[in-house]
Chains A and B, each alone.
Chain A
């Protein structure tokens, strides 16, 4: 695994600062898509945080979208989010669903 790029580092920093996560994983999945090697376009973030308690899935995702507004308006064009409370995280033992295979859509723009 190569070192995280600048976009991955920014995502990690912003989420860590704002959400005080019990668990945080930022995965660059760009290599699974038809983009240049070393790209930082497709990400998955897995976060366990008390900040999500009592919030609907849509509200949790919106919270993450807002924190990563600059990245989403810029280089990042796919963002998969797993946003759980630490309780759910422990119940599921940190096992999160894999991302689906790319079917070529990013080639089309």
Chain B
């Protein structure tokens, strides 16, 4: 995949999933402790979220770092907005800011 196509692919994933996590491994078998922490936090909020395993796609693994000019993975996006990596998500979880960010995404029933 050309670099431009990779950026389009990433943008599409972020458009298609209101909560989108780029991670190592998948939600059942995270392959990195930092990714695993974010998956556990998202699961606890009982909201739907998409994941993409960057270990299976080198172009996306490098492309996502350029997409938000952020050098590490995992990366969490909510409604197109870059939220942060594991450290930031964990801190926002503690302060309640993450729950606020996710409130519009939570199923109403």
Contact A108 B31 (CB under 8 A): yes
Contact A108 B33 (CB under 8 A): no
Contact A97 B90 (CB under 8 A): yes
B37: Cβ under 8 A from any A Cβ: yes
Q: B68-106: which residues lie under 8 A (CB-CB) from chain A?
A: 69-72, 82-88, 90-92
Contact B33 A101 (CB under 8 A): yes
**Inter-chain contact count A-B, CB under 8 Å?**
62
**Taking the nearest CB of chain A, how far is it from the CB of B51, in angstroms?**
14
Residue from A65, A102, A109 in contact with B33 in the complex, judged by beta carbons closer than 8 Å = A102
B residues adjacent to A (C-beta < 8 A) = 24-25, 30-37, 55, 58, 69-72, 82-88, 90-92
Contacts of A94 in B (CB 8 A): none
**Taking the nearest CB of chain A, how far is it from the CB of B101, in angstroms?**
12
Contact B32 A103 (CB under 8 A): yes
**Given known A-B contacts A78-B34, A103-B31, A105-B55, A58 and B84 have beta carbons under 8 A apart:** yes
Q: Which residue of A lies closest to B55 (CB)?
A: A108
* Residues of chain A at interface, number, CB under 8 A: 22
Contact A57 B92 (CB under 8 A): yes
**What mask results when residues 56 to 89 of chain A are scored 1 for a CB within 8 Å of chain B, else 0?**
0110011001000000100000111110000000
Residue from A57, A104, A109 in contact with B88 in the complex, judged by beta carbons closer than 8 Å = A57
Complex-state Cα separation, A58 to B36, whole angstroms: 20
Of the A-B pairs whose beta carbons lie under 8 Å apart in the complex, a sample of 23, sorted by A's number, is A57-B84, A58-B84, A61-B70, A61-B84, A61-B87, A62-B69, A62-B70, A80-B34, A80-B87, A97-B90, A101-B33, A103-B25, A103-B31, A103-B35, A103-B36, A104-B32, A105-B30, A105-B32, A106-B32, A108-B31, A108-B55, A109-B55, A109-B58
